[in-house]
Chain A
Amino acid sequence: GDSVTQMEGPVTLSEEAFLTINCTYTATGYPSLFWYVQYPGEGLQLLLKATKADDKGSNKGFEATYRKETTSFHLEKGSVQVSDSAVYFCALSNAGGTSYGKLTFGQGTILTVHP
């Protein structure tokens, strides 16, 4: 079945540092890939998505590129802020047959940014 693996956390950075959170996936066909962010005590917010190979999703300074050859969708940001502290989830959707719309999630990576 489909699966998503994220880098182990937690990740702790100083403000303005460069961020990378690794995400790799296993899936048949051509899934859509997502990054969601969860702030403490809240639901998930869509951060960015990509639907086909070599697509780059971007939002709020975050970027991720759909790499089919390495089955990866790593999240990057050039300069993190304290307000970026949250849990980040990588996910995929393999909309085929009866599993239309189902999201498969990684385990989440906790990011803490210090001033």
Chain B
Amino acid sequence: DGGITQSPKYLFRKEGQNVTLSCEQNLNHDAMYWYRQDPGQGLRLIYYSQIVNDFQKGDIAEGYSVSREKKESFPLTVTSAQKNPTAFYLCASSIATSDTQYFGPGTRLTVL
């Protein structure tokens, strides 16, 4: 089945630790995105990538980093510089010729 997978589903982190969230897609989509969702708020864009080895900051990139070494993969690292990292993180992808994005199931990150 084609789709977007995110792992793990739940993640717990101690303060001061970096943590990496996985996002993989087998849809052969060119573009990939990371969003953050907080309770009662819409999604906010963290980073996006339109092609391999290239990515751009979104609206709330501070305290996060990404890489895009393969078309299928777009991991997100939440660094210790992110002051309020507890949130639900969603990965999405799209083809180059469409503005429709398809979302993964999400990872819930909790800082202990």
Residues of A at the B interface (CB closer than 8 Å) are 4, 32, 34, 36, 41-46, 49, 89, 91, 93, 95, 98, 100-103, 105-108
A55 to B58, CA, bound (A): 29
Which chain B positions have C-beta within 8 A of A32? 99-100
- Distance in Å: Cβ of A69 to nearest Cβ of chain B: 22
Measured CB to CB, the nearest residue on chain A to B94 is: A101
Check A101 against B56 for contact (C-beta < 8 Å): no
Q: Given the known A-B contacts A34-B100, A101-B99, are A4 and B42 also in contact in the complex, defined by CB atoms under 8 Å?
A: yes
Residues of B at the A interface (CB closer than 8 Å) are 4, 6, 31, 33, 40-45, 48, 50, 56, 58, 90, 92, 94, 99-106
- Distance in Å: Cβ of B102 to nearest Cβ of chain A: 7
Which chain A positions have C-beta within 8 A of B45? 102-103
Check B105 against A43 for contact (C-beta < 8 Å): yes
Measured CB to CB, the nearest residue on chain B to A9 is: B40
Interchain residue pairs A-B with the least CB separation, the first 6: A105-B42, A93-B99, A43-B103, A44-B103, A43-B105, A105-B43
- Besides A44-B90, A44-B103, A102-B48, 4 more A-B contacts (Cβ < 8 Å) are A36-B103, A43-B103, A101-B48, A103-B99
| B100 partner, pick from A46, A89, A102, beta carbons under 8 A | A46
